[in-house]
Amino acid sequence: MAVLVIADHDGAHLRDTTLKVITAAQKLSGDIDVLVYGEASAVAAQAAAAAGVRKVLTAESAELKADIAEAVSALIVSLAGGYDAIALPATASGKNVAPRIAAALDVSIISDVIDVVAGDTFVHPIYAGNALETVKTADAKKVLTVRPTAFAPVAATGGSAAVEAVAVPAVTLKTRFVSDEKVVSDRPELGAAKVVVSGGRALGSADEFKAVLEPLADKLGAAVGASRAAVDAGYAPNDYQVGQTGKVVAPELYIAVGISGAIQHLAGMKDSKVIVAINKDPEAPIFQVADFGLVEDYKTAVPALLKALG
């Protein structure tokens, strides 16, 4: 059995996510190849250095760089013959393309895998993580998205896999890339950060969101996250949303500021090691999952926290 892992990267760096998907893949097989598509050159070497990788495949084109699903899935389907399983990270990019690959191969998709029980049996959360479903697939080829927070990363160094460019299949695209609007930040990425500071509707405006949360995030070296309400209201970019239908994070420390703790939000952060909630309502459901709760107005609590941190 061999597994093809699809790398998660930004053109310069291999994300930690990839190393976590490799760990999940190792539960299926010792033969793991990693596909780096898009701007592959710098990243391929990093993938080759990851522990436990047999071979790194690279593929480059403008469409792959733009992450056009039709192009990416055509590439992966063209490689699928050599593999028993294809594992993608459960990121927006992975979720965009994985079901396409599965449908093209006429197999089911198993979304958001958090545990590999056997070669054909997987655990994944359903109902916003309120239930865990164990499913056994009858499909010979498996297509999975893997929830990175559920697996530890393999070592980033020590491997010395060969790197091999693969042919990019020609596809007539009916999709064109128009533009990108990426949020640039010097902070650690939400999915990878050791500390996450998240804000909710209580913050009341984009300016207040920044003014309150950024100094705290700076002091803690944290990534910034948000509730859906804060994103919907325009206090924070969409990419910050933590939850059932946003990003799933599991940092060492998660600080929720002015967030009530709806189940859809909890779905994205309840596996954090330590959870802190700052909320002026003692009945807020967030306190049911918080290790440490501070019942206070954030307007006094956050400055006091900054002061105490020195």
Ligand X SMILES: Cc1cc2nc3c(=O)[nH]c(=O)nc-3n(C[C@H](O)[C@H](O)[C@H](O)COP(=O)(O)OP(=O)(O)OC[C@H]3O[C@@H](n4cnc5c(N)ncnc54)[C@H](O)[C@@H]3O)c2cc1C
Residues of span 130-189 touching other proteins by CB under 8 A: 130-139, 173-183
Residue 32: CB atoms within 10 A of its CB come to 25
Write down the least CB distance from residue 159 to other proteins, Å. 25
For ligand X, give the closer residue by CB, 55 or 270: 270
Helix (H, G, I), strand (E, B) or coil at 13: coil
Measured in whole angstroms, the distance separating CA 45 from the mean position of its chain's CA atoms is 22
Contacts of 213 (CB under 8 A, 6+ apart): 197, 198, 199, 203, 224, 257, 302
Token pair listed for 83: 């593999």
Cross-strand bridge partners of residue 35: 6, 57
Question: Which of 218, 276, 273, 225 lies closest to 247, judged by CA?
Answer: 225
Residues 248-287 binding ligand X (CB under 6 A) are 258-260, 262, 264-265, 268, 279-281, 284
Instruction: Judge residue 72's burial from the number of C-beta atoms within 10 Å of its C-beta, 0-12 exposed, 13-18 middle, 19 or more buried.
Output: buried
For other proteins, give the closer residue by CB, 160 or 282: 282
Q: What are phi and psi of 189, to 5 degrees?
A: -70, 145
Residue 24 and residue 81: Cα distance in Å, rounded? 21
299 binds ligand X (CB under 6 A): yes
Query: 224 near 236, Cβ under 8 Å?
Result: yes
Residues 73-92 binding ligand X (CB under 6 A) are none
Amino acid letter, 204: G
250 binds other proteins (CB under 8 A): no
Residues 261-290 binding other proteins (CB under 8 A) are 263-264, 270, 273-276, 282, 287-290
81 binds other proteins (CB under 8 A): no
Question: Which of 135, 131, 132, 106 lies closest to 119, judged by CA?
Answer: 135
293 binds ligand X (CB under 6 A): no
108 binds ligand X (CB under 6 A): no
Residues 148-177 binding ligand X (CB under 6 A) are none
92 binds other proteins (CB under 8 A): yes
Write down the least CB distance from residue 224 to ligand X, Å. 14
Count of residues near ligand X by CB under 6 A: 27
Q: Binding marks (x or -) toward ligand X, 202..231, rule CB under 6 A?
A: x------------------------xxxx-
The interface partner of residue 309, options being other proteins, ligand X, none and the CB cut-off 5 to 8 Å by kind, is: other proteins
292 binds other proteins (CB under 8 A): yes
Contacts of 187 (CB under 8 A, 6+ apart): 193, 217, 222, 223, 224
For other proteins, give the closer residue by CB, 49 or 264: 264
Residues 29-68 binding other proteins (CB under 8 A) are 66-68
Give the footprint of ligand X on this chain (CB under 6 A): 200-202, 227-230, 241-246, 258-260, 262, 264-265, 268, 279-281, 284, 297-299
